[in-house]
Amino acid sequence: MSVGHIARLLEAAGIPTVIVAVQSFRKRLEMMTVPRALLTPHLMGRPIGRPGDREQQQSVIQAVLELLETADQGGTIIDFKD
């Protein structure tokens, strides 16, 4: 919820945001109509990936940046595909 609120405040001030979170946060983020969010199928507390799994973490960062660039409306919440 905290990050959803920060996202809304930043966007209102003109700064685009993108969130990367675990899928368990889907409901909360949808309810908050956050601007852009990528949902990852990871254990809570590890949204970017497993510790030490550099390749997986890079894929997630790549996907979240692509979402930042391509989303054209608020509430764009998509699932990360490996």
Partner 1 sequence: MKRQTTAKETFESFKNSFFYGSRVNMNFKFLEHLSESEADLFFQGLLKRLSEAYDRNDDGRVSGYIIEWQLKAYSHQKGFAYEEGPFAPLSKPLSELRLGLLTSSGHFVKGQDPEPLGVKNMTQDEALARVMDFLKEEPQLSSIPIDTPPEQLCVRHGGYDISGSKLDCNVSLPIQRLNEFVRKGLIAELASPAHSFVGACSQKRLLKKTGPRWVKILQEQKIDAALLVPV
What DSSP element (H or E) covers 62? helix 54-70
Secondary structure letter of residue 82 according to DSSP: -
Binding of partner 1 at residue 79 (CB under 8 A)?
no
The distance of closest approach from Cβ of residue 50 to partner 1 in the complex, given in angstroms and rounded to an integer, is 7
Binding of partner 1 at residue 9 (CB under 8 A)?
yes
Can you name the residues that pair with 79 across neighbouring β-strands? 39
- Residue 69 or 81 with smaller CB distance to partner 1: 69
Alpha-carbon distance of 2 to 63, in angstroms, equals 23
| Contact between 16 and 24 (Cβ < 8 Å) | no
Residues in 14-73 at the binding interface with partner 1, rule: CB under 8 A: 14-28, 31-35, 41-52, 54, 57-58, 61-62, 64-65, 68-69, 72-73
Secondary structure letter of residue 15 according to DSSP: -
Q: Which spans of this chain sit near partner 1 (rule: CB under 8 A)?
A: 1-28, 31-35, 41-52, 54, 57-58, 61-62, 64-65, 68-69, 72-75
